[in-house]
Structure 1
Amino acid sequence: MISNDDTHPDLLYSQVETGLRQQIISGALGVGDKLPTEFELCELYDVSRITVRRAVQNLVDEGLVYRLRGRGTFVSAPKRVIKKGSPNNFGYHAFSDLGGKSPRRVLERSRLAADAKLSSLLEVDEGAPVSLVKRLVFEETIPIAIDFVYVSGQLFPTFLEDLGEDMSLYQLLSEHYGLKLGVEELTIDVSTAREDEARLLSCIVGSPLYILYKITRDKAGTPLHYSKSVMRGDRASFRFVISQDGRIVTQ
C-alpha cells in the first residue's frame, strides 16, 4: 500500500474523496450516517491512512462531513447561509426558504421574576415580572434550534397568550404590537450538544452548536426582548458584509 501511495499520491486521495462524495450525493450515505473507519477505508481503497485522512479532511473542509472526537466522521446536512444585516433578517425566516414560516413547537410558557442578569439585559428592576417562551424551531421537519425568549411582563403583559405556536416573534412585535424595531445586538458563541439538547435537536451528543444571544431594541433604544438560541452547527453558516468603517452593510 505504501508503494501505491508513493507512486500516485494525488490520484489515490482523489479517488477516495470522489468515491465518498459520490456516495453522499447519491444518498448511499445519508445525512447523519457514519463514514467507514480509517481502517475500513484503507482496506476498501487499498491506500494508507495518510491518504484516507487527506481525502476525509477535504470533505470536512468542504462541509460535507464533520468529525466528532472519539465517535467518528458523519455526513453533514446541507447548510443554509444566514445573512445578517439585511432588512427583516432578524429571525429564523432568514434561515429557511419558507419565508418566515419555519414550523415551531412550544415547549414551555412561564412567568418568572427577573434575576440580576435578566434585570440588566431587559433593563427592568430585579424581581420584576418576566415572561419566557421556549420553542423548538424546525426547517421543514428537521429541528434546527431551541429558542428561549424573555420579555418584560410589564411591557408585554399578554405576551404568553399572544405568541402563537407558529408565529414569528418579530411579526408579533411589529405587526401585532405595532412597534418600530431598532437595532439588534447579536453575540455568537459555540458549544457542544448536551444529552437533553441532542434529544430535542435530533443530533448526537457532542455535536457542534451555535449559541446566539440577542437583544432587540425599539427605535427609542428600549429592550424589547432578550433571547438565547441553541442552534445546530451543522445546519447553518453566518455571513456578514462589513464596511471599512466597521458597519454591517445591508445586503
Structure 2
Amino acid sequence: MIEKNSATPLYVQLVDILIADITQKMQPNDKMMSEREICQLYDVSRTTVRLALAELENSGYIYKRHGRGTFVSGALKERKNLMDNYSFTDHMRQLGKEPKTIVVTFELDAVNPILAKQLGLKEGEEIYRLERIRLANAEPMMFEISYIPAYLFPNLTKEKLSTRPLYEIFKEDYNQTVKIADEEFSASLVTDEEAEMLEVAFFSSCLRIQRTSYNKQNIVIEYTSSVARSDQFVYNVRHSK
C-alpha cells in the first residue's frame, strides 16, 4: 500500500503498485480502473494518479483510447523490438498475429533536392511515393511514408503493394534484396492526422523512425519515414566491448 510518510514520492509508489497488478493479475487489452477508482482505492489525489498513469503510458505498460478508457498494452510479451527485424510483416507473423497493410497513397513523382540526396538520385528523377498504415490483427500499429527509386522497380503498382509485402515484391519481382538498413529513432508526439490513422489519442507519444535500405550493390532502394505507436513498439540496444 501507499506509505505517505515515505521519502519515495507517492506517484512513484503508485507506479510500482500498478505495474505489479498489470504484470501479475492482468492481460493485454484488459481495462484499467478509472482515475477516480484508483484515487479511492489508494487514497491519493487525482494529480498523483495522473502522474503515475503518464509514467506507465510512457513506459509502454498502458495505452489510452479516447472516450473509452485506459487499457493494458501487450508491451511485456508482444512489443516489437525495432532492432530485431526491419520487416514488419515477418515479425508480426512470428508473433502469431495477422499483418495487414492499407495503401493510403501511391503515386509517381519527381524527386526533390532533399530526397534526391537521400536516395542517391539526381534532382527530377522519378520516384514512387507510398503511404501505408501497418496493422496487426486489424489494429493500427504504424504509419509509413516510403520513397522508392522508380528506375529500379518499373511498373510497380498499387495493386501489387496492396496484396504483397514490399520486400517480397522487391526480391521476387525485381531481384532486389535488402542487404543493409540504417535506422534512426527519435521520441515524438503524433500529429492530429497520425492520431486518427493510428487510432490513438491526440498528442500520444510515438517513435519516429527514418530507415534507408541498401541492396547488395550498396544502392539505396528505399527511404522510409515511419511513426510507430509507443505502446506497441520498444527499442532495445545492447552495448558490448
Which one-letter code corresponds to 1:82 in the other structure?
N
Distance across 1 between alignment mates of 2:118 and 2:221: 10
Q: CA deviation at 1:157?
A: 2.0
Structure 1 runs (4+) deviating above 4 angstroms are 12-16, 26-29, 47-62, 98-101
Query: Secondary structure of 1:199's partner?
Result: helix
The CA distance in 2 between the partners of 1:185 and 1:28, in whole Å, is 33
Larger radius of gyration: 1
Secondary structure, aligned partner of 1:170: helix
Q: Following the alignment from structure 1 to structure 2, what is the Cα–Cα distance between the partners of residues 21 and 78?
A: 10
- Percent sequence identity over aligned pairs: 21
- Give the superposition deviation at 1:207: 0.6
3-state DSSP class of the match of 2:181? strand
- Which of residues 101, 116, 124 is equivalent to 1:104? 101
- Give, in whole Å, the separation in 2 of the partners of 1:5 and 1:50: 15
Q: Does 1:121 align with 2:118?
A: yes
Q: Counterpart in 2 of 1:159?
A: 156
Query: What residue number does 2:34 align with?
Result: 36
**How far apart in 2 are the matches of 1:100 and 1:179?**
27
Q: Matched residue of 2:236: which SS?
A: strand
**1:25 equivalent in structure 2:** 26
Matched, 1:130 2:127: yes
Offset, 1:45: 3.3
**Match status 1:93 vs 2:89:** yes
Question: Structure 2 unaligned runs (5+)?
Answer: none
Distance 1:190 1:132 in 2: 24
TM-score of the superposed pair, with normalisation by structure 1: 0.74
- Residue 234 of structure 1 is matched in structure 2 by 231
Deviation at residue 143 of structure 1 after TM alignment: 0.3
CA shift digits 1:24-51 (9 cap, x unpaired):
8268952xx6x533x6533343346797
Kindly state the Cα deviation for residue 229 of structure 1 after the two structures are TM-superposed: 1.2
Q: How do 1:119-198 and structure 2 match up within 5 A?
A: 119-161=116-158, 163-198=160-195
How many residue pairs match? The answer is: 230
Q: CA deviation at 1:131?
A: 0.8
Assess if the C-alpha contact under 8 Å between 1:16 and 1:52 holds in 2.
no
SS at the partner of 1:204?
coil
- Comparing 111-120 and 45-54, the one that deviates more: 45-54
Do the aligned residues in 1 keep the contact of 2:28 with 2:73 (CA within 8 Å)?
no
Deviations 1:52-100 (A, max 9, x none): 5786577558632369xxx9x943421213252x5xx222035413579
CA displacement 1:184-223 (0-9 Å, x = unmatched): 1111122211111111101001011111111111111110
2:39 touches 2:46 (CA, 8 Å); kept in 1?
yes
Contact kept, 8 Å, 1:133 with 1:160, in 2: the verdict is: no
Distance in 2 between the 1:183 and 1:141 partners?
A: 30
Normalising to structure 2: TM-score of the pair?
Answer: 0.76
